[in-house]
Chain A
Amino acid sequence: MAVSKDKIRNFCIIAHIDHGKSTLADRLLEKTKSVALRDMTAQLLDKMDLERERGITIKAHAVKLDYIAEDGEEYVLNLIDTPGHVDFNYEVSRSLAACEGAVLIIDASQGVEAQTLANTYLALDHDLEIVPVINKIDLPSADPDRVAAEVEDVIGLDCSEAPRVSAKTGVNIEQVLEKIVKDMPAPEANDDAPLRALIFDSVYDSYKGVIVYVRVKEGKIKPGDTMRMMATGAEFTVVETGYMRATLPEPCKELTAGEVGYITASIKTVGDARVGDTVTTVENPAAEPLPGYRKVNPMVFCGVYPADGADYENLRDALEKLQLNDAALTFEPETSGALGFGFRCGFLGLLHLEIIQERLEREYDLDLVTTVPSVVYKINLTDGTMVEIDNPTHYPDPATIASCEEPFTDAHIYAPTEYVGTIMDLCQDRRGVFKNMDYITPERVDIHYELPLNEIIYDFFDSLKSRTRGYASFDYEIRDYRKSNLVKLDVLLNGDIVDALSFIIHADKAYPKARKIAEKLKDNIPRQMFEIPIQIGIGGKIIARETVKAMRKDVLAKCYGGDITRKKKLLEKQKEGKKRMRHFGTVEVPQEAFMAVLKLDDND
């Protein structure tokens, strides 16, 4: 069963969203008979429902395929799937580091998109052999010749032999497999060196503990060895080693250099098996870890509260469970005067935030209120110290602030030329600094801006999509921190600050935003027994105000004939209604009003 090392091919598939990565992966599984046809559900590698629905891969997975090539030899193909979103760039880079080659998929009608380029550059950074594949040739709008030329022009990859396939219908899939075998190199493998295995993913399993997915670079590992994580120093006794098959894991005696497989060792949290870390053995430790490890830090923070305070413990349990599988998710308890008990959660980006929120609501059946997302600001104080703030509540007294800094990104937007105007308007509005613009083809451009991250995390992508009818693609990475004129906006109801509605914003945008918030609250807060002033302030200065007038009539005029039940029912109804209310001192604000303010976007 052991295939010689020169017959191993470790590769990943990279592509822009929706260019057909998961479908091609499914087709490869099918062609290599890794999975019986009857077991095929569409997109086998995307295991989470959410991934299937959104058409993106959130977590990487891996699978070992056996393939008998046209030369009659049996090959082992290790397909390592990569997450398909900018929030997970670091994880993508670790997956790439586990491979020798990459299949680059380009949609035959869409052509090169933002992540096509971003992922290609990442793959080139890791010296991967790239096999371009032009997909979706079955589409009426497909123009493989044009797209091939585009790839050659923009990326400089020779596409003369690029397989032209339809992952959907299965056309020419064999060509992809043959290219992998012929063009990609076998791993360099030295079984005798001390073990160095790269963790490219880890998954929590309630029976086995954490399943650590590794690519063994040098040396070997077997059950009974004591493994050590070189970055965290954690040590565990290996219980099982094995290969990942499409449907079931396949235990093996040992994993050796060049191979891709899994290790279990009764590890309790994925935090102990961080993506990018190097596994060695205590018995024969390596001197140096593999390069490239870094601890991923959350970039976006928000408060997550249960709509019903009674769900606090359930929310904690759910977050703990999600964290088992997601080392990038952080959370700590937080209390809000307005929202009660909840958690300050940290995320890699807005998509990561949305995914976690959606999973909490869907898989754990929780009703949530989330506060305005915030980035990490650096605040330089007059006493010469610096504090990092990810929560507006902790914003220092403005009198003590010397200057503020906010994170900026390098952002690339790829779009048809006709949308350049509207995209530049949007970026300008989001305080972007224009860098340059390249024509990828006469019809398509790459617009490069430096954008503040806090402008991106509010619905930037949604606005971009609606302005370009979905034709633009977008990619960004954090660049640096820059001095910025920031202020904190406070919302006051009946004179009291509603902490959960405070947020940090650029001074130039404070006034229009304040007016919108005040209006939105006025429209969404029902009249109550007395008048409620709504004020928006910076420090002590009120910059916008509205008033919710007092309700005048809420009475059951007729209450006789002894029908007390009716009156009681009314009371019950009132109680039900109040459950959806948030109390701010004596003021009651429906959840919807809250959401309306938090969701305030360009169109309001």
Chain B
Amino acid sequence: MKPIGLYIHIPFCNGKCPYCDFYSVTPKQNVINDYVGALCKKIDEAGGVYDTVYFGGGTPSLIGADNIAKIMSHINRTPDCEATLECNPSDTGAVNSAFDFEVAAKSGINRISMGLQSADNAERKALGRRGGCDDVERAIKRAKAAGIDNISLDLMLGVPNQTAESLKKSIDFCKNSGAKHVSAYMLKIEESTPFYRIKDTLVLPDEDATCDLYLLAVEELKKAGFEQYEISNFSVKGFESRHNLKYWRCEEYLGIGAAAHSFKNGKRFYYERSIDKFISDIPPIDDGEGGDEEEYIMLALRLSEGLIFENYKKRFGKFVSENLVKKAEELEKHGLVNVTNHNISLTVNGFLVSNSVIYSLIEQ
């Protein structure tokens, strides 16, 4: 059996960050126990072999290293399996934190992803992040001590009061911390978030300033040794997130947990955003066929490597349409796309308007 990816959603947080619209609730201990039990049961039922595992949330670290280890013990993993755990620095890096990285590492966790967002504490506060940069530093130190040195940090662009200087400071922090991977997202005010309700009072950099911050981030991260490989993702060479690459390369993965999405055996399906329903074994919702040409192209163009003609032909048994290449060449004139003999990829400026670019390329 060909190994695929496994995503496990832990929908618990100690509080809600005002910009986040991922599914999470503040848990009671018995709910956590029931939920972990349900996860294990589902993993057993699904069977299969996994070459990447990703605990996302929510705050996966919140359920404690023992529960993580318990879930990991149910997963049949390949020897080189990449297993990522999203951690909250205030839980795992606080002076009195009870989180045991040793236990996590021993269970097979070998990659940590953490929300730094900004190395400027005022910006962190504006984002409603609990704890300070010192928590992040402590958490990294503890993870490394336990033997986990594949560490990813999240940065946020276009946050209230952000400047070029403060962004550089945050990037320096990433470099100095020894992180191998950085995800840098432009803040988007989602409708269902607290930020949305107060959006008129937020002093946000305007669109032009946010774009400039993005371009600066790409440049500065590169200087710091992090090469861009996706619209919002950067890494030291060889430390790209193998799990996330599966999404963008349109490869299969199983998602388990409330609100988790799957793409397996050509089908897409997802669990509802309800812990109760997941615990009570309500089956996932069918989301139709996945992995067609359009989807493949749309995802591939998010990557710096872009749409590789040979891979496309291998997968679909045909060449990329002439029309698409012609349109790409048109956009190349405007500096949004690069076209070579073997691929079509978006430039950094193309990434900034990638929705439009991708749409105009796949439009019939």
Contact = CB atoms under 8 A, between A and B. Distances in A.
- Real complex partners, A and B? yes
B247 interface: yes
A302 B188 CA distance: 45
A161 B336 CA distance: 83
A551 B211 CA distance: 11
A564 B211 contact: no
Given A558-B185, A575-B359, A552 B207 contact: yes
Interface string B199-221: 00000000110110000000000
Contacts of A565: 261, 268, 270, 287
B247 A552 contact: no
B173 interface: no
- B298, B336, B351 interface centre (most CB from chain A within 10 Å): B298
A69 interface: no
A551 B336 CA distance: 12
Nearest to A562: B261
- B186, B263, B353 interface centre (most CB from chain A within 10 Å): B353
A556 B351 CA distance: 9
A529 B334 contact: yes
B352 interface: yes
- A558, A560, A575, A586 interface centre (most CB from chain B within 10 Å): A560
B188 A564 contact: no
Nearest to A558: B185
B262 A564 contact: no
B132 interface: no
Tell me whether chain A's interface is mostly helix, strand or loop, or mixed: loop
Interface stretch (A70-78, A88-96, A281-289, A566-574): A566-574
Contacts of A551: 353, 356
A555 B56 contact: no
B188 A557 contact: yes
Contacts of A586: 330
Contact of A559 (B247, B270, B331, B360): B247
Nearest to B364: A575
A493 to B, nearest CB: 15
Nearest to A586: B330
Interface in B328-351: 330-331, 334, 336, 351
A571 B263 contact: no
Interface string A518-559: 000000000011100000000000000000000111111111
Contacts of B186: 553, 555, 557
B356 A558 contact: no
B7 interface: yes
Nearest to A555: B354
A529 B360 contact: yes
B299 interface: yes
B328 to A, nearest CB: 12
Contacts of A384: none
B232 interface: yes
B359 A578 contact: yes
Contact of A558 (B188, B211, B263, B351): B188
B260 interface: yes
Given A555-B351, A559-B231, 17 more contacts: A529-B356, A529-B357, A551-B353, A552-B208, A553-B210, A553-B211, A555-B186, A555-B355, A556-B354, A557-B185, A557-B231, A558-B188, A559-B299, A560-B247, A561-B261, A565-B268, A575-B363
Interface of A: 528-530, 551-565, 567-568, 570-571, 574-575, 578, 586
18 contacts: A529-B356, A529-B360, A530-B336, A552-B207, A552-B353, A554-B353, A555-B231, A555-B355, A560-B244, A561-B56, A562-B255, A565-B268, A565-B270, A565-B287, A567-B298, A571-B362, A574-B356, A578-B363
Of all A-B residue pairs in the complex, the 7 with the closest CB atoms, nearest first, are A562-B261, A530-B334, A552-B211, A557-B185, A554-B355, A557-B186, A554-B353
